[in-house]
Structure 1
């Protein structure tokens, strides 16, 4: 019976587990679990579709389960012999425990379970990040602090906001590199203008470069600065994008260049032969938190090349990075060569308009059904929180944009008052659409 027993033993659904870990923060750990089947599939024993398992992570010291999920090993995955990968996050606590256990237990076979240990012996946690910059209770600074009547006419307000008041001196009166992390709508563009105006005042023969991640943002800045900086101040502002490339004479004569990362990367590569690249005194990078995005390497190259150029020409180039509130601002500041003065990372709650966050979870493993279940609650949320004001709904694909929009229209049509979001006369809508409501 030896061969029969051996065959039966090899049919017991056992999995081989291998876990690798990566700390995201000091309290969150990402686990990549590689799963390999270590048994032979037999349709008579296992069926023709899938074998179910429960995967969980437990702390043997505290008898606590930190993660659990239902896992199906399909027959075709078994025969392809490709390892299956699960990625999830678990909490960790200090002092670090010696290890966690990952277990895979069969849902149908009693006693069929596998285990691997996650050891924390050589785990290096990220540095503790310094606290956010506190917003000081300062007297709002009047725009007369610019000490230039021409600059004062560019603004339709009388005083800078609290964040701008706090950072004004470093931006307008020093050449220090600056990293400003602040919530959206807190006036970071005006902070960039302070640094640009310093170049115009102190280094009139040098240039400032403003880098925005999207062509749409470049165009928006150009529309604003063409009027305020070019027409009112008499400074030449030039756009450099994939769509707009002026002649080199115009670029050489420009005082302010507004461009995208990719375009400036391509232009600054030939810095030895392009005198206007060597004449840059200020580099403003908007949305610098995109360093962690797929376009991050381009920003890295730009900053590294800027430092290289300034070391060769022996003319320091000031770098000003603008961002939303950051978790690892100190790391980014060290890379930009910023000492204690010049790092401002305000907490997300420091915003001119208070932000309320409401979180609602949705079950469902598969993308399309889960997105479909979110449309009705989205519609209810719009009715509850913003029935009259504009709303932005973010989805993750162009196709889903259309599906969500059609669902919202359908929900609105089923209401007692389907025209409640129509903030214009019906006659105008009929003229635009060419059909009657």
Structure 2
């Protein structure tokens, strides 16, 4: 099938200049579903519900939209939403799903800066590793059983992959996928950050 796109207006050098233009078309964003905010009872677990019951009674719109994908499946997920929209709780859905399994593999969260690690440690009372330390662990993954049993990798602030932390992020995620292939342990990757227009170019299924 040959498809030609012809503009309905003529190019005018007085208006548009003499430079040749190339239009870059981005696909439309995923439309939001018409959903009512989910109550905490949607977790179907009293222990999980108690984590949030002191602060909220329902999940917000973003959290409701991604709840099924993160809490009831093992698929890789990217969450693109503005800062302050509750992405941390979204990633916790994936953690809770992991913890509900009979055999619980390890969960790892990588952050671009140590300050953000410290903040998450205070919030979740869990021990996280900075990206530099985890990169060192990956280099000796055959001698480290914890690295061989990763069921979930959370990559926060993934939009910074184009900056100074980008190479380390790419190495950690690539090695995670390699170790999963070598050990036959399925590793789910949940990435979150701001909304991205070039999402298809950032992630690959190769």
Q: TM-score normalized by structure 1?
A: 0.42
**Counterpart selection for 2:164 from 294, 300, 303:** 294
In 2, the alpha carbon distance for the partners of 1:199 and 1:184 equals 25
Question: Are 1:183 and 2:89 matched, yes or no?
Answer: no
Say if 1:135 and 1:162, in contact at 8 Å, map to a contact too. no
For residues 193-234 of structure 1, the C-alpha deviation after alignment (integer angstroms, 9 at most, x for no partner) is 1101111111543110011111111111111111xxxxxxxx
Q: Greater strand percent: which structure?
A: 1
Q: Greater helix percent: which structure?
A: 2
Question: Are 1:284 and 2:172 matched, yes or no?
Answer: no
Q: 1:189 to 1:304 in 2, by over 3 A?
A: same
Q: CA deviation at 1:92?
A: 2.5
Question: Are 1:263 and 2:160 matched, yes or no?
Answer: no
Q: Which residue number in structure 2 is paired with residue 323 of structure 1?
A: 193
Q: Which residue number in structure 2 is paired with residue 168 of structure 1?
A: 67
Q: How does 1:135-284 map to 2 (within 5 A)?
A: 135-155=32-52, 156-226=55-125, 237-238=126-127, 258-284=128-154
Q: CA deviation at 1:289?
A: 0.7
Q: Which residue number in structure 1 is paired with residue 6 of structure 2?
A: none
Q: CA-atom RMSD, angstroms?
A: 2.2
Q: Which has the larger radius of gyration?
A: 1
Q: Which residue number in structure 1 is paired with residue 8 of structure 2?
A: none
| Higher relative contact order, chain-length normalized (CA < 8 Å, sep 6+) | 2
Equivalent residue pairs, number: 194
Q: Which residue number in structure 1 is paired with residue 27 of structure 2?
A: 130
Question: Are 1:92 and 2:21 matched, yes or no?
Answer: yes
Q: 1:149 to 1:220 in 2, by over 3 A?
A: same
For residues 391-421 of structure 1, the C-alpha deviation after alignment (integer angstroms, 9 at most, x for no partner) is xxxxxxxxxxxxxxxxxxxxxxxxxxxxxxx
Q: How does 1:57-68 map to 2 (within 5 A)?
A: 62-63=13-14
Secondary structure at 2:146 match in 1: helix
Q: 1:66 to 1:158 in 2, by over 3 A?
A: same
Q: Which residue number in structure 2 is paired with residue 365 of structure 1?
A: none
Q: CA deviation at 1:189?
A: 0.1
For residues 328-376 of structure 1, the C-alpha deviation after alignment (integer angstroms, 9 at most, x for no partner) is 112223x2x39xxxxxxxxxxxxxxxxxxxxxxxxxxxxxxxxxxxxxx
Say if 2:107 and 2:150, in contact at 8 Å, map to a contact too. yes
Q: CA deviation at 1:166?
A: 1.0
